[in-house]
Structure 1
Amino acid sequence: MKYLAVLVWAILLLQMTNFVLNSLAGGGTLNLIAPIIGAVVFTILVVLFDMVIKSSKHDTNEQH
């Protein structure tokens, strides 16, 4: 569930950033697909980072 929240927030914030940068560039057609792909990649990176942290915490606890 926490990764779903990360995905929703990533999509929301990247779409907002996309809109602002598009407006600063003079408008034109708004690309809706690139921020969604970026949000999915960001979410995958967060999941992988969380797995690495959990495994390192688990390894540290076994050594003590």
Structure 2
Amino acid sequence: MDKLKAQALQVAKEIMVKFIEGGRISPANFADYFKPIYSEVLRTISEPTPGEAARGEHEAKEQRKS
């Protein structure tokens, strides 16, 4: 699993825990919500920021690796 996917998984897990603690999601319907939340977090952290878009995608990928 690459670094971005691992980070997205951790963030999605934390969001789910907060929703379960707050009573907005129950353990019974966990599967209905986890995948969409994970997918959205991954999409969001994978998008280039405005500064990255100006530098170009190759340079942005190299910077994410470090």
TM-score by length of 2: 0.51
Contact 1:11 1:35 in 2 (8 A): no
Q: Percent identity?
A: 2
What is the deviation of 1:54?
A: 2.1
TM-score by length of 1: 0.52
What is the deviation of 1:27?
A: 4.9
SS of 1:32 mapped into structure 2: helix
CA RMSD, 1 decimal = 2.6
Q: Which residue of 1 aligns with 2:53?
A: 52
Bigger CA radius of gyration: 1
Q: Which has the higher contact order (CA 8 A, sep 6+)?
A: 1
Q: Which residue of 1 aligns with 2:20?
A: 22
Which runs of 5 or more structure 1 residues have no equivalent in the other structure? 59-64
| Alpha carbons of structure 1 residues 52 and 12: separation in structure 2 relative to 1, 3 Å | same
Which runs of 5 or more structure 2 residues have no equivalent in the other structure? 60-66
1:41 partner letter? R
Contact 2:12 2:34 in 1 (8 A): no
Runs of 4+ displaced beyond 3 Å: none
